[in-house]
Amino acid sequence: MVECGRHLNIELLTLAEVEGISGKEGNFQVKVRQKPRVVDMDKCIACNLCAEKCPKKVPDEFNEGLDKRKSAYIKYGQTVPLKYAIEMETCIYFVKGGNKGVKGKGKCRACEKVCPTGAIDFDQDFQDEIKEINVGSVILTPGFKPFDPSAFDVYAYSKFNDVVTSMEYERLLSSNGPCMGHLTRPSDGKEPKKIAWLQCVGSRNINKCDNGYCSSVCCMYAIKQALVTAEHTTGEVDQAVFYMDIRTHGKEFEKYYEQAQEKGIRFIPSRIHTAYPGSEGGVSVEYFNDQTGERVKEDFDMLVLSVGLETSKGSIDLAGKLGVELDKYNFAQSSSFAPGTTNIPGIYASGSFQNPMDIPQSVTEASSAAASASVALSSQRGSLTQERTFPQEKDVSAEEPRVGVFVCSCGINIAGTIDVKELTEYAKGLSNVVFVENNLFSCSQDTQVLIRDKIKEHNLNRVVVAACTPRTHEPLFRETMKDAGLNEYLFEMANIRNQNSWVHGKEPEKALEKSKDQVRMAVAKASMLEPLEYLSVNVNQSALVVGGGISGMVTALGLADQGYETILMEKAHKLGGNAWNLATTWRGEQIRPYLEDLISKVENHSAIKVYKNADIKANKGSVGDFVSEIDVAGEIKAIRYGIAVVCTGGQEYKPDEYLYGQDDRVFTHLEFDKEMSEHKPALEKAKGAVFIQCAGSREPERPYCSRVCCTHTMHSAVELKNANPKMPVYVLYRDIRTYGAREDLYREARELGVVFIRYNPDNKPRVSREGDDLVVVVRDHVLFRDVEIRPDYLVLASAIVPAEHKNLVELYKCGLNSDGFLQEAHAKLRPVDMSVDGMFLAGLCHYPKSIDECISQAQAAVSRASTILSRSVMPLDSIKSYVTENCDGCAICVDTCPYGAIALTDYERDGGMHKKIETNKALCKGCGICEATCPKQGVYVHGFTNEQLRAQLLAALENV
């Protein structure tokens, strides 16, 4: 969020609503209604005084109404932009006047009086502002609304205080929620010791106008909440999850589920029909024990309803205004082959407005939408972007340090606790300090001018600002440094607000002592700061895509459509990969025509070079300029490219159980698809089919869920039933994982009479042959006895296994997870980036997924890659490692660098050969593990050298 707020080319319009849209792709006119914030954004410094003084308390919607906030407020601590707002609907001044939306007539105006910067002025007219914006593309990300269970008496949500929704529970657990992180239950403030989660509240149910689809995320969040609960309560706590199917189909999710089971969280397969009052407060529920078949009544201190996700009324209205078509569940309608597009060219949808989805999927879809949105605009790229210019930088490297210290009062945020006058006087006595000044607000625009002038007037060459946190304000002051002609790295902050006055409000004297130490430490470090070089790498604006399946082709086409020369390599003799073996998507769209069209577009695109029978042999270089050797059908070629996208895919696992390979009536999914299309008449005469789920998945040697097999089985089962409604079809499963709208297929299969039998992994189905018959025996979970089935087809929903990545891992130093899938840089926040800069991934090499998800991820990779490829020069952060003269090549650090940025080289000195290391600035991320490893101070990180850290340390301990 902070990055978004700070980005020069992102304009934030808060409190705004789209009124209407006209024009077409490439040239939309959007009419936006922006409500008044009342607080002047340029003046507000988020000091919280207005909220402190505001007498009007209203329920805090961020904490789900569990506690109160004021009418003058920010929604939560990390709000971006960090500016307060006054809610006209509740503010006494406006409400008393009876005149919502315009000048109020109430008397209060307390916030106006107390605001130290004059950001609040009630003497003006406040009216909604209508803005017309001209844009080329529109992306809709209105998010979701949690399902409201209050109308459903079965959950007794409205009846009992101790029945809460999962969103409310999340706030109860949160350290900045109403309980400050120490869980208590709403009815009596007691710490709950027994908590139950009810899954699928408002999902997978069409009984009472709730939603037919699966909300996809609730199983994971319930498991998370159950696990986290233990950390927010004291002593033993009992957590039970009542579920229909546990759906942990995401990457690393199944492991998390197993971990929860190991930690003793109870998972009970039962849908609770009614909640009764408990014996001592709390709630009582009734269910059937699936092991014994007995009816059980159990008391819980709290009940958490795992509510589903749905589209809000506002989002539906928005879609209506824009003419965007929604599906029957009110999610944006799109095709599997063009995820994120809507019926209107140039308008895209992303996130939970498309489907209920989790964070990694949302981030992926968001990047994907950005890619789609920018293709049409690529010819105009860069035409409206802004950059700042600065005066020539002064060389101060030979000068003695002359430190200027600016002590911020931050209104009374700092000055209210810390005696800033004394701190200012104290700073004057520190060595190297030649100028000290106290500002009311060091971050204000006029103070920036003042700091710049003082730097010039006093010939300062190092600056310390004692104020808030460098994490939010360092960029601002660094700009001011550059404005004053100084290197921006000659700057240091002392965090006397977030890490002092705000957290030591009751101990002003000790806070003052601490602030002196903080300033002394900052000055000590500042005195040792050196100007740093501004680094950049030249970007070869072309790409390599490894793997020519659907993901690889979509990536290559996306990059080429953006105008980048792209090499697509495929190890087989033709493009297409697994898609050749798939008939339809889960939505029923035919894959073959799409595939053939895609291949022809790729092969005929002037910016794409396709190499078949190709394999990477060698690689060096790094982001911006990779240099590789590839073997193309026996011929070695050298290629150069700026980024690489890995789409090496995966394949179907060949099972080694259930008589697979020993009986030709036993198929895998892909084999059965082929059988169905080639021998259709046989289907009609067949006397039955059995599907066994999780063949090779969720097993000790392959502990992950293969995600797509349940949906595939539903699809095949429905097809069988449609071909021959009389044919008995059985699905032997552990949990059915038809997430999202795929749930419809599951429901359809049940309606068509497919029989579902849940088996236990400790007692798997047994397959044998008796005479000519194939015999499947399974223990039925309802009848509690073995059932024998003699089918003509036995279909194994076999796992998806990743491609072999050993070579790739060695050449690019990228990572694999324990299941052999390629590792993304961050599971949630950077799902298509790899930890190696300039490398991205998409498709099955990352994790099993459906075609639409592969295409989204491929488009996301295009978007992420464009952030590098769009510029011929990529600026790098200057905080990088560098080799000092002490290095003598012992090479211990080489292996410790997580980014492979260190290499050993030979050089000549005084007539002898010696060794030392070299660091690659493009690969280095400045983590400094090398610095901590080196036993002789041979490698440092700029701005964080041992001497600089030591200077801070010694300053901290000066008075001890």
C-beta closer to another protein: residue 493 or 731? 493
Query: Following DSSP, what letter does each residue of 237-274 receive, concatenated?
Result: -EEEEEESS----STTHHHHHHHHHHTT-EEEE-----
Residue 953 lies near another protein (rule: CB under 8 A):
yes
The helix (run of H) or strand (run of E) holding residue 723 is helix 709-723
721: CB partners within 8 A, 6+ apart: 727, 729, 749, 752, 753, 754
Measured from the CB of residue 232, what is the shortest distance to another protein in angstroms? 15
139: left (phi over 0), alpha (psi -120 to 50) or beta: beta
Assigned token pair, 225: 């909440």
- Which lies closer to another protein via its Cβ, residue 294 or residue 895? 895
Question: Which of 143, 890, 900, 918 contacts another protein by CB under 8 A?
Answer: 890
Q: Which stretch binds another protein (CB under 8 A): 594-602, 657-665, 756-764, 892-900?
A: 892-900
Q: Does 1 bind another protein (CB under 8 A)?
A: no
Q: Are strands 57-59 and 68-70 parallel, antiparallel or unpaired?
A: antiparallel
In the chain, count H helices and then E strands.
Answer: 24, 49
Q: Are 712 and 670 in contact (CB under 8 A)?
A: no
Dihedral (C-alpha) 602, 604, 609, 612: value to the nearest 10 degrees?
Answer: 70
Q: Which residues pair with 758 in a beta bridge?
A: 733
Our finding on whether 944 is near another protein (CB under 8 A) is: yes
Of 97, 470, 563, 815, the one binding another protein (CB under 8 A) is 470
- The CB-of-507 to another protein minimum distance in angstroms stands at 6
Residue 411 binds another protein, judged by CB under 8 A: no
251: left (phi over 0), alpha (psi -120 to 50) or beta: beta
Mark 328-367 with x for binding to another protein (rule: CB under 8 A) and - for no binding. ----------------------------------------
Is 471 one of the binding residues for another protein (CB under 8 A)?
yes
> Per rule CB under 8 A, is residue 952 in the interface with another protein?
yes
Contact with another protein (CB under 8 A): which of 479, 891, 900, 918?
891
Local structure of 59: helix, strand or coil? strand
How many Cβ atoms are within 10 Å of 71's Cβ, its own excluded? 25
Residue type, 826: H
Sequence-distant (≥ 6) Cβ neighbours of residue 370 within 8 angstroms: 139, 863
Residue 935 binding another protein, by CB under 8 A: yes
- Taking CB under 8 A as the rule, does residue 4 contact another protein? no
Stretch that binds another protein, among 137-145, 383-391, 787-795, 890-898 (CB under 8 A): 890-898
Q: Which is nearer to another protein, 726 or 909 (CB)?
A: 909
**C-beta neighbour count of 502 within 10 angstroms:** 18
**Would you count residue 905 as binding another protein (CB under 8 A)?**
no
In sequence order, what are the residues at sequence separation of 6 or more whose Cβ sits closer than 8 angstroms to the Cβ of residue 315? 140, 142, 143, 145, 330, 353
Backbone angles phi, psi at 796, to 5 degrees: -100, 120
Q: Which of 305, 322, 484, 521 binds another protein (CB under 8 A)?
A: 521
Those residues whose C-beta lies under 8 Å from the C-beta of residue 118, and which sit 6 or more positions away, are: 40, 43
Stretch that binds another protein, among 16-24, 420-428, 541-549, 883-891 (CB under 8 A): 883-891
Stretch that binds another protein, among 324-332, 433-441, 549-557, 920-928 (CB under 8 A): 920-928
What are the DSSP E strand ranges found in 316-368?
Answer: 347-349
Is the CA virtual torsion 307, 309, 315, 319 positive or negative? negative
Residue 829 as a binder of another protein (CB under 8 A): the answer is: no
- Under the binding rule (CB under 8 A), the answer on residue 518 touching another protein is yes
The contact pattern for another protein, residues 481-510, with x = CB under 8 A and - = no contact, is: --------------x-xxxx-xxxxxx--x
- Does position 231 bind another protein by CB under 8 A? no
Which residues are within 8 A (CB) of 455 and not within 5 positions of it... i.e. 6 or more apart? 404, 463, 481, 484, 485, 486
**Where does this chain touch another protein (CB under 8 A) — which range of 468-476, 564-572, 597-605, 654-662?**
468-476
Among candidates 565, 685, 546, 540, which has minimal Cα distance to 615?
Answer: 546
Bridge-based pairing state of the strands 766-770 and 773-779: antiparallel
DSSP collapsed to 3 states, 181-228 = CCCCCCCCCCCCCEEEEEEEECCCCCCCCCCCCECCCHHHHHHHHHHH
Which of 273, 428, 592, 936 is close enough to bind another protein by CB under 8 A?
Answer: 936
Nearer to another protein, 496 or 676 (CB): 496
Give the nearer residue to another protein in terms of CB position, either 591 or 901. Answer: 901
Tokens at 564, concatenated: 């980048």
Q: Which residues contact 159 (CB under 8 A, 6 or more apart)?
A: 153, 275
CB nearer another protein, residue 883 or residue 941: 941
Residues from 247 through 306 that contact another protein (CB under 8 A): none
Phi and psi at residue 49, to the nearest 5°: -65, -40
Distance in Å, CB of 837 to another protein, minimum: 16
Q: Which is nearer to another protein, 429 or 681 (CB)?
A: 429
Find the binding residues for another protein in span 56-85 (CB under 8 A). 77-78
Looking at the Cβ atoms of 303 and 893, the one nearer to another protein is 893
Which stretch, 63-71, 83-91, 434-442, 910-918, contacts another protein (CB under 8 A)? Answer: 910-918
The yes or no reply on residue 950 touching another protein (CB under 8 A) is: yes
Q: Does the footprint of another protein cover residue 6 (CB under 8 A)?
A: no
Are 267 and 126 in contact by the 8 Å Cβ rule? The answer is no
Interaction of residue 928 with another protein, rule CB under 8 A: yes
User: Does residue 926 bind another protein (CB under 8 A)?
Assistant: yes
Instruction: Answer whether 460's CB lies under 8 Å from 402's CB.
Output: yes
The reply on whether position 892 binds another protein by CB under 8 A is yes
Q: Which stretch binds another protein (CB under 8 A): 195-203, 226-234, 278-286, 929-937?
A: 929-937
Q: Which of 327, 513, 629, 699 binds another protein (CB under 8 A)?
A: 513
Candidates 14, 289, 397, 896; binder of another protein (CB under 8 A) is 896
CB of 600 to another protein, least distance (A): 46
Size of the site for another protein (CB under 8 A): 66
Q: 668 and 798 in contact (C-beta within 8 Å)? A: yes
The answer to whether residues 472 and 3 touch, using CB atoms and an 8 Å cutoff, is no
Strands (E), 447-550: 462-467, 491-495, 535-538, 542-546
Stretch binding another protein (CB under 8 A), from 245-253, 313-321, 515-523, 836-844: 515-523
Instruction: Choose one: 35-43, 95-103, 266-274, 516-524; the region binding another protein (CB under 8 A).
Output: 516-524
Site string for another protein, 627-666 (x = CB under 8 A): ----------------------------------------
Question: Residues 157-186 vs another protein: string with x where CB under 8 A?
Answer: ------------------xx----------
Q: How far is the CB of 944 from another protein (least distance, A)?
A: 6
CA atoms within 13 A on the CB side of 136: 14
Q: What strands, in cross-sheet order, belong to the sheet with 689-695? A: 666-668, 793-798, 689-695, 729-733, 755-758
Taking alpha carbons only, the member of 122, 117, 57 closest to residue 94 is 122
Using rule CB under 8 A, residue 927 touches another protein: yes
Which residues ranging from 771 to 810 are in contact with another protein (CB under 8 A)? none
The burial of 206, by beta-carbon neighbours within 10 Å (0-12 exposed, 13-18 middle, 19 or more buried), is given as: exposed
Closest to another protein by CB, 326 vs 418, is 418
Residues at the interface with another protein (CB under 8 A): 77-78, 175-176, 469-472, 495, 497-500, 502-507, 510-511, 513-514, 517-518, 521, 879, 886, 888-896, 904, 910-915, 926-929, 931-936, 941, 944, 946, 949-950, 952-954, 956-957, 959-960
